[in-house]
Amino acid sequence: MGRKLLLEHANVPGIETFDVYRKHGGYTSVEKALKTMSPEDVVEEVKTATLKGRGGAGFPAGMKWSFIAKPEGVPRYLLCNADESEPGTFKDRYLMQYLPHLLIEGMIVSSYALGANQAYIYIRGEYMFVLRIMEKAIAEAYEKGFLGKNILGSGFDLDLSIAPGGGAYICGEETALIESLEGKRGNPRMKPPFPAVQGLWQCPTVVNNVETLATVVPIINMSAAEYIKIGTEQSKGTKLISASGNLVRGGVYEIELGLSVEEFIYGDDYCRGIKDGKKIKALVPGGSSVPILPAHLITKTANGDQRLMSYESLSDGGFATGSMLGSGGFIVFDEDQCIVRNTWNFARFYAHESCGQCSPCREGTGWMEKVLNRIEHGQGNMRDIDLLADINKKIEGNTICPLGDAAAWPVAAAIRHFREEFEWHVTNPQEAVTRNYGLLKSVTA
| Binding stretches for other proteins (CB under 8 A) | 84-90, 93, 118, 120, 124-129, 132, 161, 163-169, 180-186, 201, 242-246, 250-252, 284, 288, 329, 331, 333, 337, 341-342, 345-346, 349, 352-353, 355
Nearer to other proteins, 230 or 293 (CB): 293
In the complex with other proteins, the residue whose CB is nearer, 51 or 388, is 388
Whether residue 272 contacts residue 249, with contact meaning beta carbons closer than 8 Å, is answered with: yes
Instruction: Report the nearest approach of other proteins to the CB of residue 166 (Å).
Output: 3
Q: Is 11 helix (H, G, I), strand (E, B) or coil?
A: coil
| β strands within 141-279, DSSP E | 159-164, 205-209, 238-245, 251-256
Q: Between 132 and 296, name the residue whose CB sits nearer to other proteins.
A: 132
Nearer of residues 243 and 314 to other proteins, judged by Cβ: 243
CB 377 within 8 Å of CB 428: no
Q: What is the CA radius of gyration of the chain?
A: 22
CA dihedral (194, 311, 239, 144) in degrees, to 10, reads: -20
Residue 21 or 77 having the CB closest to other proteins:
77
CB of 128 to other proteins, least distance (A): 5
- At its nearest, how many Å lie between other proteins and the CB of residue 24? 25
Counting Cα atoms < 13 Å in the Cβ hemisphere of 328 gives 28
CA atoms within 13 A on the CB side of 151: 24
- Provide, rounded to whole angstroms, the least separation between the CB of residue 351 and other proteins: 10
Residue number, 168 or 214, with CB nearest to other proteins: 168
Q: Which is nearer to other proteins, 31 or 336 (CB)?
A: 336
Q: Other CB atoms closer than 10 Å to residue 317's CB: what's the count?
A: 18
Nearer to other proteins, 141 or 331 (CB): 331
To other proteins, the closest distance from the beta carbon of 178 in angstroms equals 10
Closest by alpha carbon to 287, among 385, 392, 407? 407
Q: Least CB distance from residue 135 to other proteins, whole Å?
A: 10
Dihedral, CA of residue 84, residue 220, residue 264 and residue 342, to nearest 10: 20
Count CA atoms within 13 Å of residue 341 on its CB side.
13
- Nearest approach in angstroms of CB 34 to other proteins is 23
Looking at beta carbons only, is 180 or 323 nearer to other proteins?
A: 180
Minimum distance from residue 236 beta carbon to other proteins (Å)? 25
Report the relative pairing of strands 238-245 and 118-123 from DSSP bridges: unpaired
Is-contact 228 48, C-beta < 8 A?
A: yes
Q: How far apart are CA 2 and CA 76, in angstroms?
A: 37
The Cα–Cα gap between 173 and 165 comes to: 13
**What's the min distance (Å) between Cβ of 435 and other proteins?**
14
DSSP 67-78: T----TT---EE
